[in-house]
Amino acid sequence: MASLYLKNLAKTYPGGVTAVRDFSLEIKDQEFLILVGPSGCGKTTVLRMIAGLEEISAGELYIDDRPVNDVAAKDRNIAMVFQNYALYPHLSVYDNMAFGLTLRKMPKAEIRKNVQEAARILALEDLLERKPKELSGGQRQRVALGRAIVRKPEVFLMDEPLSNLDAQLRTQMRIEIAKLHKNLQTTFVYVTHDQTEAMTMGTRIVVMKDGLIQQIDSPQSIYDHPVNMFVAGFLGSPGMNFLEVLMIEQKGCIFAKLADALLLVPAAGGQTLKEQGYLDRKVVLGIRAEHLCGSGDFLDRHPECALRGRLEFSELRGAETYHYVRIDGREVVVRVSPELRAETGQEVRVGFNMSKAHFFDQESGVNII
Ligand code: ATP
């Protein structure tokens, strides 16, 4: 059992850089929590404070209700897996995995049992005699995981463990780590700046920017209901489209005016925008590529929700195609069926599914509805 409670944690480095501010979070036992955000936003600093590798400047850290600010790293029963694996090159896989246990003077028989069990979980049984240089990147990463597993820690911390692997191996290891979490039934805190890892691996995501938490929720909730433009743009591939629109009211309905088109805003959302004083003001309309369309029923049924633009580029991804279309001076990305044929430079129509649109305040970037 291990839950973590971070209460108003802050870290200011000796040079005066405040890397993390007012960071409060409860991590439940057996949760797979992802910290995600752009480079330099403070993810590693949070992880290192949890591990006890970095002193906490302000705030409190609890493991299972026990305050641990002043508990040494080695006494926290936490294991950390690093980006660069940090394996000992002169030791075999077995000895790399056994190293920490030997230091703790665990009996040899017990060490063997733990290492073999970890090797079985990670499919390393046939590689135990090899040296790290005789392994592939994925195998090395598994050894690094193995070294953490043998200690049977209550909490696993992982700092971008897949960033040195090629794309195919990353996908494979993503699944392996998610399975590992199910198998071990322990608490995982995982740092990444890769939004695909964030979306697919964890039970909850914490999105960070400039040392501050922007949003904490399940991957799907964050994807569907981002609290601000930063989160909306950061999670999802391709990123959300943002377009400046003017909110107007005509005959009791609320519209978003874009170029010379009027896009009807669904009643409830329109009402909120009106009540919050956004009529006759510009806001940012946010819409994902899959909620725009280039053909089919939707365009036929809702010609009023379609705009004309020019196709600048088509990106074929196999199961789907993305069209990059210039509308009103802005490029938007539209997910279309691979069967839809269009030439670069051609005029195309783009349908807006307004029930999926977001509206952001231009200055604060906050999601209004
Ligand atoms: P990345 O994804 O690039 O690893 P990150 O989100 O993990 O970034 P941190 O490594 O936590 O970010 O760094 C947060 C901020 O603190 C950055 O501005 C960084 O330059 C600064 N920082 C990190 N370590 C130190 C240090 N030891 N001394 C001074 N400043 C530091």
Tens digits of residue pLDDT in 93-102: 999 999 989 9
Residue 312's pLDDT is 95
**From the CA of 44, how far away is ligand 1's center (Å)?**
7
**From the CA of 66, how far away is ligand 1's center (Å)?**
27
CA distances for 359 relative to 159, 244, 254, 350, angstroms: 34, 10, 13, 19
- Residue 288 and residue 16: Cα distance in Å, rounded? 39
Q: What ipTM is given for this predicted complex?
A: 0.97
Q: What is the mean pLDDT of residues 284-308?
A: 84
Encode pLDDT of 50-71 as tens digits. 999 999 999 999 999 899 999 9
**What is the residue with the minimal CA distance to atom 20 of ligand 1?**
40
Residue 168's pLDDT is 82
Encode pLDDT of 170-182 as tens digits. 888 888 889 889 9
pLDDT band at 259 (very low <50, low <70, confident <90, very high): confident
**From the CA of 179, how far away is ligand 1's center (Å)?**
30
Dihedral in degrees, nearest 10, Cα atoms 338, 341, 343, 348 = -100
Question: Locate tokens 């990463």: which residue?
Answer: 141
Q: What is the mean pLDDT of residues 206-213?
A: 97
**What is the residue with the minimal CA distance to atom 16 of ligand 1?**
19
Residue 155's pLDDT is 94
> In the structure, which protein residues have their CB atom closer than 6 angstroms to any atom of ligand 1?
13, 15, 17, 19, 37, 39-45, 193
**From the CA of 40, how far away is ligand 1's center (Å)?**
5
The secondary structure of residue 218, as a DSSP letter, is: -
**From the CA of 208, how far away is ligand 1's center (Å)?**
13
Mutation to probe ligand 1, out of 9, 12, 13, 189 (largest number of atoms < 8 A from CB): 13
> What is the DSSP pairing of strand 187-192 with strand 155-159?
parallel
Question: Locate tokens 């995501």: which residue?
Answer: 205
Residue 338's pLDDT is 85
Q: Judge contact between 7 and 61, C-beta under 8 A.
A: yes
Which ligand 1 atom sits nearest the alpha carbon of residue 11?
16
Smallest CA-to-CA distance from 156 within 72, 74, 47, 53 is with 47
Residue 297's pLDDT is 66
Q: Residue 146 above 70 pLDDT? A: yes
Mean pLDDT, the chain, rounded, equals 92
**What is the residue with the minimal CA distance to atom 28 of ligand 1?**
13
Per-domain residue ranges for the chain? 4-234, 241-360
Dihedral in degrees, nearest 10, Cα atoms 298, 303, 309, 310 = 60
**From the CA of 125, how far away is ligand 1's center (Å)?**
37
Q: Residue 43 above 70 pLDDT? A: yes
Buried b or exposed e, range 156-188, using 16+ CB within 10 angstroms: bbbbbbbeebeeebbeebbebbbebbeebebbb
- Residue 126 and residue 109: Cα distance in Å, rounded? 19
**From the CA of 8, how far away is ligand 1's center (Å)?**
18
Q: Residue 138 above 90 pLDDT? A: no
CA distances for 278 relative to 241, 262, 309, angstroms: 20, 16, 27
| C-beta atoms surrounding 329 within 10 Å | 8
**What is the residue with the minimal CA distance to atom 22 of ligand 1?**
19
Tokens of 260: 């010379």
CA distances for 83 relative to 157, 242, 308, angstroms: 11, 34, 46
What's the topology of domain 241-360? Answer: OB fold (Dihydrolipoamide Acetyltransferase, E2P) (2.40.50)
Mutation to probe ligand 1, out of 43, 160, 163, 207 (largest number of atoms < 8 A from CB): 43
Lowest mean pLDDT among 2-16, 39-53, 112-126: 112-126
Is the domain 4-234 a CATH 3.40.50.1820 member? no
pLDDT band at 303 (very low <50, low <70, confident <90, very high): confident
- Residue 99 and residue 105: Cα distance in Å, rounded? 10
**From the CA of 41, how far away is ligand 1's center (Å)?**
7
Residue 294's pLDDT is 82
Which ligand 1 atom sits nearest the alpha carbon of residue 54?
27
Lowest mean pLDDT among 56-65, 108-117, 163-172, 269-278: 163-172
Q: Residue 37 above 80 pLDDT? A: yes
Mutation to probe ligand 1, out of 45, 46, 157 (largest number of atoms < 8 A from CB): 45
> What is the DSSP pairing of strand 66-67 with strand 78-81?
unpaired
Q: What is the mean pLDDT of residues 216-228?
A: 96
**What is the residue with the minimal CA distance to atom 1 of ligand 1?**
39
